[in-house]
Amino acid sequence: MLLLAIVAVTTLAANSARQLRYMAVAFFGVSLAAHLIDDGTLAVSQILISACAALVASAILFVAARDRRFGEDPGWRLWLATIVAAATTAAAFAFLRPETGDEINTNLLGPDPSGVTTEVAAFWLLSSGIAILLTARGAVRGSLGALLMLTGTQLLVRMMPGPELALTLLLSWLQVVVALAGAFLIVNQRAAREA
Amino acid sequence: MIWIIALLGAAALFAFSVRKRLALVGTVTLSALAVAIAFVIALPMDATGAVLDLPWRMSELGRLAAVVLLGTLCLLVLAVWVEEPAYNFFPTALVVAAAVLAVLVLTTPIAIYAALLLGLLVPVGSFTFQVHRNRSAEAAYRHFSFVALGGCLGMAALALSASLGRDQPPGTFVLLVVILVVAFALKLAAIPFHTHAALLASEVPAPALALYFGVLVPTTFIAFAQILVLSGLLPAIVEIGKVQDLLLGLGLTSALGGAFLATGSTELRRVAVYSVIANLGQSLVGIATLSGPGIIGAMAIALVTGLAATQQLLAAGTLERRAGADRPSATTAPLAALAFVVGGFAMVGAPPLVAFPGHFFVELIAYSYSGWLGTALVIATLGVLVAQLRAAMAVFQATPDRWRIEQRPIAGIVGGLVFFALLIGGLQPDGFLRPIAAFADEFLRALHPL
């Protein structure tokens, strides 16, 4: 539960940041906390790969900023994104939570084998990402939204049966490519605006 | 198979490092693509394997689509190399080739989806050019947003459906399938999710546009059908008619809307792009009928439309560039104009090209589904026909005293090659339709598992 709280707070920090560099650092915090949520199926190799990808993605955005002041003021979009994300998370959890009949047993620090914490974190990240992406004016917040959505997706993929290491690798590559494409767009939009 | 995908990836890295040395990068790109095509042809049918427990299989459809799509990429690379050098295009084409191969051979739905997203995101670099003078950066950003939004939603829906037990309430699966369908509609630029495609059509370079609509959009459609088969969601679609209705509605809206928008367009690129959207709408209707002929027709239309789009968009780019500030005209590039016109035959599904059977099957099965559905599809085809005729008449409006073939007529040559390939396919359609029919069998078996 503590990691879930960290995910929520760092998502809000990334969402409210006016500077791209702060946004990149906050995203790394979100991603790290999300991947450390233990649902009883965690493997060290997967955590390492996901953390590396998150670090590289954050570094790409950090470098793309070029100076510490560059960014995008969220303004009213911050509140809209937060309210929409909170409402959508609750709705998604109510509609899409599997009906297993198992008792939900969460605690503050230990693992959560029921998967509730992972699911809530995934739904929160997906809905925050959607809200940020849909209200973004440019590539700065657009990239953040896309990366948050992808992190949420990674958590959901982790819960399904299948070739876990291969999927972790594939999604980590995808995260780096999303960051690269986002950074490319940020640089180009900035060049177009400053011309 | 993994080695050939790795080879394409390595070639992309090399091409990126030498991207400004045109002769070298062009040769390396074409050679790598040729090796990949040869390897795909030489690979035994139904060859299987696994990479890190990720299984792959070379199916009949996979082989056909790989040859068609990698061949299209070869033509695009040739056109860019000879006529309109764009340094970023060569590594992009190689990464797209690797992603296309991965999509066609992987058998895990999430992995197919992730590979597709990689392929769809990479061309962002080729979409932007001279950002001070046009809105290509905005168009690329919209494409990025649509792909990220649709991609993550679709993958999340797939992951959830895979982790849920089959004893969940039907409403849960309906919601997940609806999310998956909308996610693919976003990436296929199906109407009403086509706004990014409209901006792309007017702002990005023609070869990059051809890469998207000629290679990536057909790949996305094939991935959609494969994911439906492999995810185990098809029985849920059959049981709950609402999802089938949603697919039919989306397809019909795209078919009619695309045809309507194409008819109203005056720009050649827009005519080509909206014709693609109209044809993909027909393909969606074909899939939505959940019948053998519908599925065969849908896949055939998607593949042939990709080829026709490549032909028309390259020709449109050449005509626009040669015309400068004036209206595109056949007087400046007659071979390119001819390529645009013959591309229109494939777009409307005219016989004897191999484009005909696909349209015929889908419209036939639509009539058997309901009279108004078949009529609507015929009206959509007529709309595309009118749009193509208007575009052809506009291009050939002025006639010079003496026709003179343009210098370096690469768009015309590409158009001619595509036309003859489609003609040969039309004369012996069995070779083209049999692999698609094999896939339709798999689709129908997944629809009603024993």
Q: pLDDT tens digits for B277-311?
A: 999 999 999 999 999 999 999 999 999 999 999 99
Determine whether the interchain pair A177/B118 forms a contact, defined as Cβ–Cβ distance below 8 Å. Answer: yes
What span, in angstroms and rounded, lies between the C-alpha atoms of B367 and B348? 18
Chain mean pLDDT for chain A: 87
CA distances to A70, B261, B280, B310 from B313, rounded to whole Å, are 38, 17, 17, 5
pLDDT at A137: 86
Q: What is the pLDDT of residues A160-181, one digit of tens each?
A: 888 889 999 999 999 999 999 9
Cβ–Cβ gap A134/B149 under 8 Å: yes
Using only C-alpha atoms, chain A has a radius of gyration, in whole angstroms, of: 16
pLDDT computed for residue A4 by the predictor? 87
pLDDT in the model for residue B171: 75
Query: What's chain B's average pLDDT?
Result: 91
The one-letter amino acid code at B335 reads L
Interface residues on B facing A, Cβ-Cβ cutoff 8 A: 51-54, 108, 110-111, 114-115, 117-118, 121-122, 124-125, 128, 131-132, 137-138, 140-141, 144-145, 148-149, 152-153, 155-156, 159-160, 162-165, 167-169, 171-172, 175-176
B159/A177 CB distance under 8 A: no
Q: What is the pLDDT of residue B329?
A: 85
Task: Find the residue in A nearest to B159 (Cα).
Answer: A157
Nearest residue in A to B134, CA atom: A192
C-alpha distances in angstroms, A182 versus B312, B329, B388? 30, 38, 36
Position A99 pLDDT exceeds 70: no
Chain A residues in contact with B174 by the CB 8 A cut-off are: none
- Residue B108 predicted with pLDDT over 80: yes
Report the pLDDT averaged over residues B349-358: 92
Scan residues 105-124 of A and list those with Cβ closer than 8 Å to B.
122
d(CA B218, CA B65): 9
Task: Please tell me the distance from the alpha carbon of residue B32 to that of residue B30, in angstroms, as a whole number.
Answer: 6
Q: In the prediction, which pLDDT does B166 show?
A: 67
Tell me whether A126 touches chain B (CB under 8 Å): yes
Measured CA to CA, the distance from residue B399 to residue A4 in angstroms comes to: 70
Q: How confident is the model at residue A95 (pLDDT cuts 50, 70, 90)?
A: confident
* B interface test, pick of A93, A97, A125, A177 with most B CB neighbours within 10 Å: A177
Model pLDDT, residue A102: 59
pLDDT for the residue numbered B209: 93
pLDDT at B35: 96
Contact B141 A163 (CB under 8 A): no
Higher-confidence residue of A129 and A192: namely: A129
Pairwise pLDDT comparison (A96 vs A37), residue with the higher score:
A37
Q: Is there a contact between A170 and B114 if contact means CB atoms under 8 Å apart?
A: yes
Could you tell me if A43 lies within 8 Å of chain B, comparing CB atoms? no
pLDDT at B152: 94
Tell if the CB–CB gap between A189 and B53 is shorter than 8 Å: no
Tell me if B53 and A166 make a contact (CB, 8 A cut-off): yes
Check A96 against B160: CB less than 8 A apart: yes
Region B98-118: mean pLDDT is 95
Lowest-pLDDT choice from A189-193, B239-243, B325-329? B239-243
Closest chain B residue to A142, measured at CA = B145
Confidence of residue A53 (pLDDT cuts 50, 70, 90): very high
Locate B135 and state its tokens. 């809105």
CB pair distance less than 8 Å for A181 and B122? yes
Contact (Cβ atoms closer than 8 angstroms) between residue B40 and residue B101: yes
Mean pLDDT of B29-47: 93
Contact B72, B215 (CB under 8 A): yes
Cβ A167–B114 below 8 Å, yes or no?
Answer: yes
Q: Do the beta carbons of residue B190 and residue B277 sit within 8 Å?
A: yes
Q: How far is CA B323 from CA A109, B156, B320, B332, B337, in A?
A: 68, 47, 5, 6, 12
Q: Which helix (H) or strand (E) holds B54?
A: strand B54-57
Chain-chain contact of A96 with B121 (C-beta, under 8 angstroms): no
Taking the Cβ of residue A139 and every Cβ of chain B, the question of whether any pair is shorter than 8 Å is answered with yes
Cα gap A188→A182, rounded to integer Å: 10
Residue A103 has pLDDT above 80, yes or no: no
Look at residue B316 and tell me whether its pLDDT is greater than 90.
yes
Q: What pLDDT is attached to residue B126?
A: 86
Mean pLDDT for A95-109 is: 64
pLDDT bracket for residue B450 (50, 70, 90): low
Amino acid symbol at B418: V
- Check pLDDT > 90 for residue A39: no
Q: Which two tokens stand for residue A97?
A: 């939570």
For an interface test with B, the pick among A41, A61, A184 (most B C-beta atoms closer than 10 Å) comes out as A184
Contact across the interface for A174 and B114, Cβ inside 8 Å: yes
Residue with more model confidence, A102 or B38: B38
The shortest C-alpha distance from B88 to chain A (Å) reads 12
Of B53, B168, B171, the CB nearest to A163: B53
Give, as one character, the DSSP assignment of residue A115: -
Residue-level pLDDT at A110: 67
Q: Is residue A119 within 8 Å of A159, Cβ to Cβ?
A: yes
The DSSP annotation for B318-344 comes to HHHHHHTTS---TTT-HHHHHHHHHHH
Chain B residues whose CB is inside 8 A of the A179 CB are: none
Select from A156, A174, A177 the Cβ nearest to the Cβ of B156: A156
What is residue A116's predicted lDDT score, i.e. its pLDDT? Answer: 83
Q: How much is the average pLDDT of A139-159? A: 94
Region B12-37 average pLDDT: 93
- CB–CB contact A177 B115 (8 Å): no
Contact criterion met (CB < 8 Å) for B148 and A188: no
Whether B6 has a pLDDT exceeding 80, the answer reads yes
For B213-239, write each residue's pLDDT tens digit: 999 999 999 999 999 999 888 887 777
Per-residue confidence (pLDDT) for residue B398, from 0 to 100 = 80
> Residue B114 and residue A156: Cβ atoms within 8 Å?
no
State the pLDDT at residue A50.
93
A/B interface, count of CB pairs below 8 Å:
140
Q: Write down the pLDDT at residue B10.
A: 94
Position B176 pLDDT exceeds 70: yes
- Closest CB to B110: pick one of A149, A167, A191: A167
Banded model confidence at residue B401, pLDDT cuts 50, 70, 90: confident
How confident is the model over B30-42, as a mean pLDDT?
A: 95
Q: How many residues comprise chain B?
A: 450
Per-residue pLDDT at B447: 84
All residues of chain B having their beta carbon less than 8 Å from the beta carbon of residue A45 are none
Higher pLDDT, A79 or B131: A79
Q: Measured at the alpha carbon of residue A149, what is the angle toward residues A148 and A151, in degrees to the nearest 5?
A: 65
pLDDT-derived band at B94 (thresholds 50, 70, 90) equals very high
pLDDT at B434: 94
Q: Which two tokens stand for residue B105?
A: 């051979």
Higher pLDDT, B103 or B402: B103
> Residue B31, class by beta-carbon neighbours within 10 Å (0-12 exposed, 13-18 middle, 19+ buried)?
exposed
| Interchain pair A166, B54: CB under 8 A | yes
Q: What is the ipTM of this complex?
A: 0.94
Burial of B2 (0-12, 13-18, 19+ CB in 10 A): middle
pTM of the model: 0.94
Share of chain B above pLDDT 90, in %: 67
Which of B135, B136, B160 to mutate to test binding with chain A, by most A CBs within 10 Å of its CB? Answer: B160
Of B114, B122, B145, Cβ closest to residue A171: B114
Cβ separation B162–A161 shorter than 8 A? yes
pLDDT of residue A100: 58
Q: φ, ψ for residue B57 (rounded to 5)?
A: -150, 135
